[in-house]
Amino acid sequence: MTTYRQPGTVLTDHRFTVPLDHARPDGPTIEVFAREVVAAGKAGRDDLPWLVYLQGGPGYGSPRPVGRDSWLDRALEDYRVLLLDQRGTARSTPANRRTLAGMDPAGQAGYLAHFRADSIVRDAELIRRALLGEGRWSVLGQSFGGFCAVTYLSLAPEGLREVLITGGLPGLDATADDVYRRTYPHVAAKNAAFYDAYPQDVEQVRRIARHLRDNEVRLPAGGLLSVEMFQTLGVMLGMSDGAHRMHYLLEGAFDGDEPSDVFLRQVEAHTAYAEAPFHAILHEPCYAQGGSATRWAAHRVRAEFPAFDALEDDAPFPFTGEMVYPWQFEQDPYLVPLREAAHLLAGRDDWPALYDAGRLAANEVPVAAAVYHDDMYVDRELSLRTAAAVRGLRPWITNEYEHDGLRNSGGRVLDRLIRMVRGEV
């Protein structure tokens, strides 16, 4: 362990060895990294309850705090916080094109199959026992981290003191097809809102798309910036400031008649999977359970929404959202070495269940969940069905915040959830 200080906080870095496959505890192992954060004035207190943070994703590491920034400031009033780098992310044992290069596609697919919510929860339970013994801790799950929290309630509720979820109540029996049939219309609505806010960008976006259609444009790392890849920038539009950041990105798109270097660098930062390659691989499998193969659901379901394939002079250009497509494994250099493994995982039909409906119906752990009314990434109606299916879960439905409300509310979202789970509101 390494302990150090930042303004207002004391941080301790932890590493834990866990099985790659929890069904084979004597088999290969990996490391999971976690950063403990406690308020400076409370560092010596052993009675502080623990709050483990489960980041959105899959495939992204926990936040890197600077002092008591964002929601952490509110959390540190009451908790000792553990920022967990879920297996395969950030400082945990990485899973990417380089670390998996020595495996054949079947080996890569078999390895990555152990990186879903069920394995993350079992890691968390080993870590809880290492830090707390038989003590319980609280969980805060954002987006995919909320999916993991519901899996936690299904697999190991005995480890939980309370659960807080923001923008992350999954459909308990929804397939990937169900999810995308619901989210494409949400993305279309965000497109309309973007162009309403910035009507001057309609022609600029058309100009970019026409240039990409008629020319081969490469991103700084060598990936192809196709029309379809350009469309995936729409993933930004579900965040509170996404439309504004999109506008500023687009306004500097050209130096004369050619895409500017700054634009290409910024586009690559938003579209390439250097940081989280297995997000692309496991995004759809995180919905799969009970014998259903995803079979590139977003790609197949997109055919039901032909407006997303349009590049017409008389219609605003349509951006897509948080969808992953098979052609990205041909165009993104960080994904190309993993394309065969991705195809194998898309065809897998024996995924284990992630949620236990019976156990959730008998739940005794206090749960509060923020459901964002206009969430582009997690369908509101599926979330509310799950809220009704988990005994004792208190939902808070709000259109005051977008999907990133936890990060951008100055601690207000977290404060309300804490007060809800305690019965104070």
Contact 287, 174 (CB under 8 A): yes
In angstroms, what CA-CA distances link 2 with 35, 82, 169?
10, 14, 35
Residue 124 CA to chain centroid, in angstroms?
17
Whether the CB-CB separation of 51 and 131 falls below 8 Å is answered with no
Encoded tokens for 386: 């799950």
Q: Any catalytic annotation for residue 283?
A: no
How many beta carbons lie within 10 A of that of residue 352, not counting itself? 12
Cα–Cα nearest to 153, from 421, 353, 357? 357
Does residue 143 have an active-site annotation?
yes
Distance CA 116, CA 282 (A): 7
Catalytic one among 62, 138, 143, 154? 143
Which is nearest to 394 in space by CA: 359, 374, 373, 418? Answer: 418
125 and 328 Cβ atoms separated by less than 8 Å: no
Laid out side by side, the sheet with 29-39 consists of 2-6, 9-19, 29-39, 80-85, 50-54, 137-142, 160-166, 367-372, 393-398
Q: Is 350 a catalytic residue?
A: yes
- Helical (H) or strand (E) element with 271: helix 261-271
d(C-alpha 364, C-alpha 241), whole Å: 37
14 closest CA partner among 30, 39, 35, 40: 35
Q: Which of 186, 279, 403, 404 is catalytic?
A: 403
Catalytic residue chosen out of the listed positions 196, 255, 261, 350: 350
What positions carry a catalytic annotation?
Answer: 143, 350, 403
